[in-house]
């Protein structure tokens, strides 16, 4: 069922059998849709052509000129693979060092399995932090040097 309101403000409920079926053969005679002039009709070919030209000019200004990009496509792929290997080795090294130190701590201190669990989690966190630093997502920790030059402690 569908609730319809007429122009006079009358509300009535329409049932499926009361609604006309769209067959696709007849044109839509409902008239313009919305408040815009000529709404419901598609854009004219001139409007579409203007939009296409504007889009082409925007895309043309963003494209890289042939001389500006790298001449060798293999170099880009190789540098991407090298970056991936670097990031994955940073992460794996952090986890393995944490697990190794945890195992050693458990072996010599007799705290099995807590040393391995705690240091493995710390190694995971350290590996993740190393990956974020290597990818440039997290700033390097400079320790006391960063507090010297910022001027936060200065009073004027």
pLDDT tens digit string along 125-134? 999 999 998 8
Check if the beta carbon of residue 94 is closer than 8 Å to that of residue 102: no
Question: Per DSSP, which regions of 15-137 are E strands?
Answer: none
For 72-109, the pLDDT digits (tens) are 566 777 788 888 999 999 999 999 999 999 999 999 99
pTM of the shown model: 0.43
pLDDT beyond 70 at 143: no
- Residue 95: the pLDDT is 95
Which of residues 88 and 39 earns the better pLDDT score? 88
* Beta carbons of 143 and 107 less than 8 angstroms apart: no
Domain ranges of the chain: 95-135
Sequence-separated (6 or more) residues with CB below 8 Å from residue 147: 153
Lookup result for tokens 């504007």: 54
Q: How far apart are CA 38 and CA 15, in angstroms?
A: 31
146 pLDDT tier (thresholds 50, 70, 90): low
67 vs 58, higher pLDDT:
58
pLDDT at 34: 54
Rounded Cα gap, residues 7 and 14, in angstroms: 16
**Under the phi-then-psi rule, with left for phi > 0, alpha for psi from -120 to 50, and beta for the rest, what region is 5?**
beta
Query: What's the average model confidence in pLDDT over 5-13?
Result: 71
């Amino acid at each position: 069922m569908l609730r319809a309101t007429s122009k006079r403000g009358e509300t009535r409920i329409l049932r499926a059998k009361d609604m006309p079926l769209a067959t696709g053969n007849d044109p839509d005679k409902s008239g313009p849709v919305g408040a815009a002039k000529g709404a419901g009709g598609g854009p004219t070919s001139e409007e579409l052509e203007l939009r296409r030209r504007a889009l082409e000019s925007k895309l043309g200004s963003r494209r890289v000129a042939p001389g500006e990009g790298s001449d060798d496509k293999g170099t880009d792929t190789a540098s991407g693979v090298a970056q991936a290997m670097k990031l994955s080795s940073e992460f794996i090294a952090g986890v393995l060092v944490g697990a190794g130190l945890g195992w050693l701590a458990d072996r010599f201190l007799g705290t099995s399995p807590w040393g391995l669990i705690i240091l493995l989690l710390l190694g995971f966190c350290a590996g993740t932090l190393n990956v974020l630093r290597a990818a440039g997502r997290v700033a390097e920790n400079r320790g006391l040097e960063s507090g010297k030059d910022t001027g936060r402690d200065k009073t004027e």
